Structure 1
Amino acid sequence: MSSDPTSTEPQAPLAPKSLEDRITMPASAGTNVNAASFTPGRASGFSWADDVDSPTPPAIADPPPSTTAEKNEGIAKEETLPKAQSDGAVEEQHGSTLQEPEHDVNVKLSDMQADPNNPLYSIKSFDELKLAPEILKGIYAMNFRKPSKIQERALPLLMSNPPSNLIGQSQSGTGKTAAFTLNILSRVDTSLRKPQALVLAPSRELARQILGVVQVMGQFVQGLEVSQAIPDPARRNQTIQGQIVVGTPGTTMDMIRRRQLDATNIKVLVLDEADNMLDQQGLGDQCKRVKVLLPKTVQTVLFSATFPNEVLSFANQFAPNANQITLKHDELTVEGIRQLYLDCNNIQDKYDVLVKFYGLLTIASSIIFVKRRETARDIEERMVAEGHKVASLTGALEGAQRDAIIDRFRNGDAKVLIATNVLARGIDVQSVTMVINYDVPELANGDPDPETYLHRIGRTGRFGRVGVAITFIHDKASWRKFTAITSKYGIEAVRLDTSDWDSVEDVVKRVIKSSRAGTNIDMEM
């Protein structure tokens, strides 16, 4: 990047003189002749960056971006695992394949006298874990051949005896789901038909995805039963007998209190996307209440891609004396994702611009993220009325409706999905090549929300592929928020010049095309 990485002064994304100067494409990259053509929607050369009263965006509290030397130190040669299953959805759920770059894993042990670099705390093969043959068979059924970087360090700590707590910060696609699943499978007693491990996720969509991973990895374990604890009227009064339970906090808490879920034998508690659950007022309270209902000896495992400092402090209280593992997420979050932005005249103009993008959105699959449920519903109704095929997914829908919509999206029956942040975390759909930030993510108080931005754009560019994330800017406030987010992470987003829509169309289509072909695109910052 051209900006000084050591500077603490937030810097605005720079508008390039020419998109072709900033993004180089392979000559073989193609275009979609069926894509809708673009027409200018604003005054030539207009930019909200030129119309902001103050050039200084709001600061976001956190350490400044790492220096270039620090970043380079954590980046090794890329290693590809052919036909490897991802950390996210399984093949049946149309998940991505794992193409993991090697990054440094930082380990902080709860035992201050222990050496985190001790070979005992790292493995290079699954055989070193002395797993039961049926569990190993499940690993190979997932097409894993060797541990990922996070698994190398996390698995020995997770599976050591006596069990110890773990807090892990790692990007989607680094092997965390498989890691905590292996730990669970190694600890459950299948001769006892009672719940012994509990995995909680912030949304039913992520819970169902994790459930699929556990079922595939445990398919050869005799007597194993995996149950779900998500809202389902058809199973309202049924008692859960599966040794492994995957669910959402509210439903799980309700089932324990109704004595439909016997928690007396729970050995392992896992929170996926833990920062999101512990930080949200409702979910955080529910997670705490669930833990109170579990045995005091339960092994607590927290995983997430982001852990803000204030949430990490609470995580240490939720999982006391925990070992900690982190990956350098500042490199991982932007790798493979081409981050662009464009200027809209006003909030109403955003919809017109979105419609012009429709032909590009349907080349593979795309997710449009909005702030409010009402916005998602309004966009869906207007686009459907104009003959466009889209679907929307928000927390306002009933569970069965949400399941049907996400399944349609996974299967490719719906190419464009409009969603609130309910889908921003953990969801893995291989075909997603574009994310649209229709609304710049913000916190409840209106401040910029950098963590949600990273989770949103992480739905594309999955596991070594190239993806594109485009943010719509419609006024001074949205520009300042976007600038604050990009400044925090040292991102220099490229401005799409809407005075030349032919160029916009050409650039975006070639990024998407290269994503589908697995071609690397060099973006010179």
Structure 2
Amino acid sequence: MCLWGGGPPSDPAEQSLLNKLIRRSLVRNRNQVEVLQRDPSSPLFSVKTFEELRLKPELLRGVYCLGFNRPSRIQENALPMMLAQPPQNLIAQSQSGTGKTAAFSLAMLSHVKPENHWTQCLCIAPTYELALQIGQVMEQMGKFCPEVTLTYAVRGNRMERGVRLQQHVVIGTPGTLLDWCSKYRIIDPKLISMFVLDEADVMIATQGHRDQSIRIHRLLPKECQMLLFSATFEDSVWGFAEKVVPDPNIIRLRREEETLDTIKQFYILCSEEEEKFSALCDLYGGLTVAQAMIFCRTRKTASWLAGRLTEEGHQVALLSGELTVEQRADVIQRFRTGKEKVLVTTNVCSRGIDVEQVTLVVNFDLPVDMEGNADNETYLHRIGRTGRFGRRGFAVNMVDSDRSMELIRQIERHFNRSISRLDPGSLQEMERLIS
């Protein structure tokens, strides 16, 4: 979890929504997929085309309208399990941008029997906004299947008590869905045949959602197909998943070592903030930089720095936590399309954003954890914004005190990598080190 130099952690639901808003196309994922089958003797199926899934023609048209020409890596392995007969339960690890939402939306659309006018599929998401994102994907994919209907179980969507829903798919948040199933009885949980729980790691980080989800699960019939998705698989997520999904197939990412081979790392010695700014200007002027990201510890520093760079004539975007999620997504889109060449940000932007043109990352302030030591994970996520997809990138750290120098040493020891000193006033030295 990202920390703002000892400040509050970023909201996981907001981070997930931000990723959904900015990832309009599939991300290229280096991680290999590992499949653990419930029945190891069963043949392992994966597909390379959507035609192999024998989908209804209307659904296939919907898939292609969404821009999927071939299954993504998670879809190759997950869809055959989701669509299998008899139904199979699944726990899958998958980040935003990998085609996960489209996969389980396709599974629900395929699963529904339109002639049965009752709710057959439940899908739970941690927040109203995330539920809406899922529904938008499903509505687009199912636009050639008008006989399949859906509605949203979210606060404010009032339903008449005791009148059973006829919509086939209900997408919503745990509290409202629980009310609809038990308090208002407008959904008969015993008739649910597919249960999808998305963003499990975000769900259990949100107070009350974990217990509400388990209570919904207990109302469902034993033969109901259970599908659970999570971006991370920490112990708390595993414990939750095991309670909700019996006898599962498991798809998880085999984490490759984050490579630093394509990123050259340097530090610059400075005495105070003004000298850091001068060094930054020298650095940006001495390098051929497509786009740069500059990380600050606080909103105040980020705002000051963005203002100074703008005064110097740079096209600068500012991204920090007081912006709404939609505003942040807009800033990132502008940066991604090259409208601004420099993005100044706090840790709110340290992970998950892939902009291929970023060649320079600057830590104007080094990341620290709650104890004031080097936050190695955040450092890795920050500098990983450059050197994407095998391209060469540069990371420069501003060192303005003995304590900052000690943080550099901690980072060197952690990653077993040397970070070279750079003199931004010497263009010849810079060219020699970077070449």
Whether the aligned pair in 1 keeps the contact of 2:263 and 2:386 (CA below 8 Å) is no
Alpha-carbon RMSD:
5.0
Q: Give the one of 276, 279, 288 matched to 2:210.
A: 288
Is the CA contact 1:340–1:494 (under 8 Å) kept in the aligned structure 2? Answer: yes
Identical aligned pairs, as a percentage? 32
Matches for 1:59-70 after TM superposition, within 5 Å: none
Partner of 1:68: none
Distance 1:208 1:190, change over 3 A: same
Instruction: Report SS of the residue matched to 2:44.
Output: helix
For residue 122 of structure 1, what is the aligned residue in structure 2?
Answer: 46
* Most deviating of 217-226 and 446-455: 217-226
Q: Give the 3-state SS of the residue equivalent to 1:267 in structure 2.
A: strand
In structure 1, the residue corresponding to 2:352 is in which secondary structure? coil
Q: Which runs of 5+ in 1 are unaligned?
A: 1-87, 231-235, 247-251, 511-525
| Residue of structure 1 in register with 2:79 after alignment | 155
Output the amino acid matched with 2:56: A
1:71-470 to 2 correspondence within 5 Å? Answer: 104-109=32-37, 111=38, 114-115=39-40, 118-141=42-65, 144-160=68-84, 161-168=86-93, 176=100, 178-187=102-111, 196-200=122-126, 220-222=144-146, 252=173, 267-271=195-199, 275=201, 277=202, 283-285=205-207, 287-288=209-210, 291-292=213-214, 294-296=216-218, 297=220, 299-304=226-231, 307-308=233-234, 310-311=235-236, 313-314=238-239, 316=241, 319-321=244-246, 322-331=248-257, 333-334=258-259, 337-346=262-271, 348=273, 349-358=275-284, 363-399=289-325, 401-462=327-388, 464-466=389-391, 468=393, 470=395
Looking at CA atoms only, which structure, 1 or 2, has the larger radius of gyration? 2
Question: Residue 79 of structure 2 aligns to which amino acid in structure 1?
Answer: L
Structure 2 CA distance for partners of 1:269 and 1:307, relative to 1, 3 Å: closer
Aligned length: 392
Q: In 2, Cα distance between the equivalents of 1:459 and 1:217?
A: 32
> 1:437-516 residue pairs with structure 2 within 5 A?
437-462=363-388, 464-466=389-391, 468=393, 470-474=395-399, 475-481=401-407, 484=410, 492=417, 495=420, 497-498=422-423, 501-503=426-428, 506=431
Q: CA deviation at 1:504?
A: 6.7
Tell me the TM-score normalised to structure 2 length: 0.66
SS in 1 for 2:314: coil
- Which has the higher mean CA deviation after the structures are superposed, 353-362 or 294-303? 353-362
Instruction: Rate the CA distance shift 1:243–1:410 in 2: closer, same or farther, 3 A.
Output: farther
**Offset at 1:137?**
3.2
Which 5+ residue runs of structure 2 have no aligned equivalent? Answer: 1-17, 160-166
Counterpart-to-counterpart distance in 2, 1:506 and 1:278: 48
Query: Deviation digits for residues 166-200 of structure 1, max 9, x if unmatched?
Result: 142x6776654554454454446789798843445
Can you list the C-alpha shifts for 1:449-488, whole angstroms capped at 9, x where unaligned? 44444444454455x3525251515245545555555655
Q: Are the counterparts in 2 of residues 393 and 418 from structure 1 also a CA contact under 8 Å?
A: yes
More RCO (CA 8 Å, sep 6+): 1
After superposition, the Cα gap between the structure-2 partners of 1:355 and 1:254, relative to the gap in structure 1 and judged at 3 Å, is: farther
2:347 and 2:302 map into 1 onto residues whose CA distance is 11
Structure 1 residues 98, 408: closer, same or farther in 2, change over 3 A? closer
Distance 1:278 1:196, change over 3 A: closer
Q: Distance in 1 between matches of 2:249 and 2:381?
A: 24
Instruction: Return the TM-score normalized by structure 1.
Output: 0.57
Give 1:285 shift.
2.3
Alpha-carbon distance change, 350 to 146 in structure 1, aligned in 2, over 3 angstroms = same
User: Which deviates more, 390-399 or 474-483?
Assistant: 474-483
The one-letter code of the counterpart of 1:443 is D
Distance 1:357 1:214 in 2: 47
Structure 1 range deviating more: 335-344 or 219-228 = 219-228
